[in-house]
Amino acid sequence: MVAPRAVAAAILLLAAGRDARAQPTLSVDLKSPDSIKSAAKIVATKLVSYYHGTEYGKTVGILPGPPSDGLGPYYWWEAGAMWGTLIDYWHYTGDDRYNAITSEALIFQSANSYQHRNWTASLGNDDQAFWGMSAMLAAEVNFPNPPADQPQWLALAQAVFNTQAPRWKTDYCNGGLRWQIPPTNGGYNYKNSIANVCFLNLGARLARYTGNETYSFWAEKTWDWMEGVGYIDEYFNVYDGGNVEKNCSDINFVQFSSNAAVLLHGAAIMYNHTKGSDKWGIRLAGLLGRTLDHFFPNGTMVERACELEKMQCNEDQHSFKGYMLRALATVATVANFTRPVILETLRFNTKAAVQSCLSDGTCGFRWNIGKYDGDTDNGPAGQAMSALAALSTLLIDQQPVKGPLTDSTGGTSVGDPNAGTGPAALEPPRPATPSDRGGASVITALLLASFLCSLVWICSGWTESPGAPATSQPPWI
Ligand SMILES: *[C@@H]1O[C@H](CO)[C@@H](O)[C@H](O)[C@H]1NC(C)=O
Ligand SMILES: *[C@@H]1O[C@H](CO)[C@@H](O)[C@H](O)[C@H]1NC(C)=O
Ligand SMILES: *[C@@H]1O[C@H](CO)[C@@H](O)[C@H](O)[C@H]1NC(C)=O
Ligand SMILES: *[C@@H]1O[C@H](CO)[C@@H](O)[C@H](O)[C@H]1NC(C)=O
Ligand SMILES: *[C@@H]1O[C@H](CO)[C@@H](O)[C@H](O)[C@H]1NC(C)=O
Ligand SMILES: *[C@@H]1O[C@H](CO)[C@@H](O)[C@H](O)[C@H]1NC(C)=O
């Protein structure tokens, strides 16, 4: 019974392979906003075709999965990230055709502060936070507000934050969030960077949006803890995590771009929120320099840990490149000194990303080989999300784009500081110190800009020469 099916599948595959080879690469003029928008529309259409939540009997808001059900390779969190990608798509291109399904998804899955019991088996703090960060983005870009009797974007982000803050425990490792939420999940004893950088990211953005310093207190605390425990090292490498049994000293030194991207975004928001403080400016510049050096070794992004020597990236990692470019675009809008280096990165990488796509919007994974690599395994939604992010974010180079809003600069989302759990478990904010607040200066920004230049390939004729060898540490230490 197995053989005929396998033969049929082989023939189908062969046909698909031939079609793919026959199909030209996605064509786009990267100098023209209209051309970028048309290409983005093709990729967005393809991306949304992987979503079946609007079909009869299917669950609203999710991509097919979790992997074990055989329907598709996507864990629940990745759909949360996809809706964020589509919010950015709307924000940068103005195409609102997916706004309705995006709203519906973000609301339908929001039960219990994005912890619906359907997803308990894979519910990490990071999974919950990826949905929370998409809700936060909706608030920051004035994505159309839901009707008043529905959950509101800002309140949803606050709910996620408020459920996570009480999970910060000092019994092991002197603090930090664990990876998984239910104690019965594998990974509960792992305190990892992704759980903590997502918490920092949400804290920073909530502080900036609402002006409530309880959130920034937690963002500060999380950075300090990650540095203290060695997850962020003196070169601004961001390592993956450690286990409570070893008091987090058994650091897993693998570096994933998702950790760096979410942290970079959070650090830039803190830099902006603290009015250009030296403290966050130095963190931001250091992290940005190391990120570009490590993940863009020849100018094009690679998910080094699983893409470089051998292709072994999983379904999650196939979506990571998009989060990096989306984070970088936001960093450029809130920390002006990073703008030149980030624009160069976006231009170079969007070109590379587009070459990985076919004319029907199907996109492969590798951006550094100049063509479609046929790698739609462990996807293809993640690959499409990444290419869509590349196209959408490049528009910041060509048209005026508003940075993330706050409730005093036009943001209209309605919040609820008590959403999620009771406020009892939260510590009071620490008063702002002069060093946090006073450092805003053009001089600082200029110094940081030249500092950044000194350590990245970008300011040294990088299109011709590949820059520093991949393994080099930044030279300034
Ligand atoms: C949870 O799963 C059930 C059964 O598949 C489905 O009917 C329901 O819509 C799901 N709810 C959410 C929030 O995913
Ligand atoms: C556990 O790790 C924390 C953070 O690195 C450290 O401050 C603390 O001293 C360690 N405790 C023990 C018992 O090793
Ligand atoms: C960078 O480019 C050089 C020269 O083309 C190549 O040998 C090297 O493998 C590339 N490194 C990465 C990390 O892609
Ligand atoms: C922002 O950076 C750009 C490019 O470096 C520069 O031209 C512009 O003057 C800067 N704007 C501000 C407000 O600093
Ligand atoms: C913060 O970001 C806004 C754009 O959203 C920008 O206008 C402002 O200049 C930034 N502030 C600092 C200190 O960089
Ligand atoms: C600030 O945020 C914290 C944490 O969510 C909350 O407990 C507190 O009530 C908020 N304060 C105000 C003034 O909204």
Please work out whether the CB of residue 333 comes within 6 Å of at least one atom of ligand 4.
no
Ligand 1 pocket, mutate which of 59, 106, 109 (most atoms under 8 A from CB):
59
Q: How far apart are CA 133 and CA 80, in angstroms?
A: 9
What's the CA gap between 318 and 447, in Å, rounded?
A: 36
Residue 211 in contact with residue 221, Cβ under 8 Å? no
- Closest-lying ligand 4 atom to the alpha carbon of residue 445: 14
Task: Check if the beta carbon of residue 249 is closer than 8 Å to that of residue 172.
Answer: no
Angle at 214 between CA 211 and CA 220, to 5 degrees: 100
pLDDT in tens, 132-173: 999 999 999 999 999 999 999 999 999 999 999 999 999 999
- Best probe residue, ligand 3, of 292, 298, 369 (max atoms within 8 Å of C-beta): 298
Please tell me if the CB atom of residue 53 comes closer than 6 angstroms to any atom of ligand 1: no
| pLDDT value of position 34 | 98
Residue of the CA atom closest to atom 11 of ligand 6 = 212
pLDDT at 453: 59
Task: Note the pLDDT of residue 13.
Answer: 44
Q: What is the pLDDT of residue 21?
A: 58
Candidate from 271, 272, 334, 336 with most ligand 4 atoms within 8 A of CB, to mutate: 336
Q: What is the pLDDT of residue 432?
A: 36
421 lines ligand 6 (CB under 6 A): no
pLDDT at 6 over 60: no
What integer is the mean pLDDT of 182-205?
98
Give residues (CB < 6 A) around ligand 2: 173-174, 228-229, 247-248
Domains for the chain: give ranges and CATH numbers: 4-426 (1.50.10.20)
**How do 190-192 and 241-243 pair as beta strands?**
antiparallel
Distance 365 CA to ligand 5 centre (A): 34
- Given a contact cutoff of 8 angstroms between Cβ atoms, the answer to whether 106 and 135 are in contact is yes
Residue 111 CA, closest ligand 1 atom number: 13
Ligand nearest to the CA of 76: 1
Whether residue 287 has pLDDT greater than 90? yes
Residue-wise pLDDT tens digits, 355-378: 999 999 999 999 999 999 999 989
pLDDT > 70 fraction of the chain, expressed in percent and rounded: 84
- Ligand 4 near 459 CB (within 6 A): no
Minimum-distance ligand to the CA of 246?
A: 2
CA–centroid distance, 334 to ligand 5, in Å, is: 5
pLDDT value at residue 447 = 59
218 — phi, psi (to 5°)?
A: -70, -35
Give the closest residue (by CA) to ligand 2 atom 13: 247
Out of 37-51, 110-124, 426-440, least confident range: 426-440
Among the residue ranges 347-361, 375-389, 417-431, the one predicted with the least confidence is 417-431
Average pLDDT, integer, range 104-114: 97
Ligand 2 geometric centre to CA of 312 (Å): 34
Q: What secondary structure does DSSP assign to 201-251, as a single string?
A: HHHHHHHHHH--HHHHHHHHHHHHHHHHHTSB-TT--B--EEEGGGTT-S-
Decide if pLDDT at 208 tops 90: yes
Q: How far is the CA of 292 from the centre of ligand 3 (A)?
A: 15
Per-residue pLDDT band at 11 (split at 50, 70, 90): very low
Tell me the two tokens of residue 384. Answer: 């499409």
Ligand 2, atom 7, lies closest to the CA of 174
Give the model's pLDDT for residue 421: 75
Mean pLDDT of the chain: 88
Minimal CA–CA distance to 357: which of 91, 44, 95, 31?
44
Looking at the chain, the whole-number percentage of residues with pLDDT higher than 90 is 81
CB-based pocket (< 6 A), ligand 5:
272, 275-276, 333-336, 403-404, 440
Closest residue CA from atom 9 of ligand 2: 174
| Cβ 280 vs Cβ 271: under 8 Å | yes
Cβ neighbors of 441 (< 8 A, separation 6 or more) are 276
217 alpha carbon, closest ligand: 6
Q: Is the CB of 216 within 6 Å of ligand 6?
A: no
Tell me which ligand sits closest to the C-alpha of residue 276: 5
CA angle 194, 200, 204 (to 5 degrees): 145
Q: Whose CA is nearest to atom 9 of ligand 6?
A: 417
Residue pLDDT, tens place only, 219-274: 999 999 999 999 999 999 999 999 999 999 999 999 999 999 999 999 999 999 99
Residue scoring higher pLDDT (50 or 457): 50
The reported pLDDT for the residue numbered 438 is 36
pTM over 0.75? The answer is yes
Ligand 3 neighbours (beta carbon < 6 A): 297-298, 302, 308, 368, 466, 470
Please say if the pLDDT value at position 292 is more than 80: yes
Could you tell me the distance, in angstroms and rounded to a whole number, from the CA of residue 262 to the centre of ligand 3? 26
For the Cβ of 340 lying below 6 angstroms from any atom of ligand 4, the answer is yes
Among all chains, which residue has been given the structure tokens 């450029």?
Answer: 332
Lowest mean pLDDT of 73-82, 90-99, 418-427, 466-475, name the range.
466-475
* Separation of CA 174 and ligand 2 centre (Å): 6
Q: Is 205 left (phi over 0), alpha (psi -120 to 50) or beta?
A: alpha
Asked if pLDDT for residue 427 goes beyond 70, the answer is: no
How many angstroms separate the alpha carbon of residue 253 from the centre of ligand 1?
37
**Ligand number nearest to the C-alpha of 466:** 3
How many angstroms is it from 113 CA to the middle of ligand 6? 17
Q: How many CB atoms lie within 10 A of CB 186?
A: 10
Q: Which atom of ligand 5 is least distant from the CA of 440?
A: 13
pLDDT for 22 equals 72
What torsion do the CA atoms of 57, 90, 38, 45 make, to the nearest 10 degrees? -10
**What pLDDT sits at residue 353?**
98
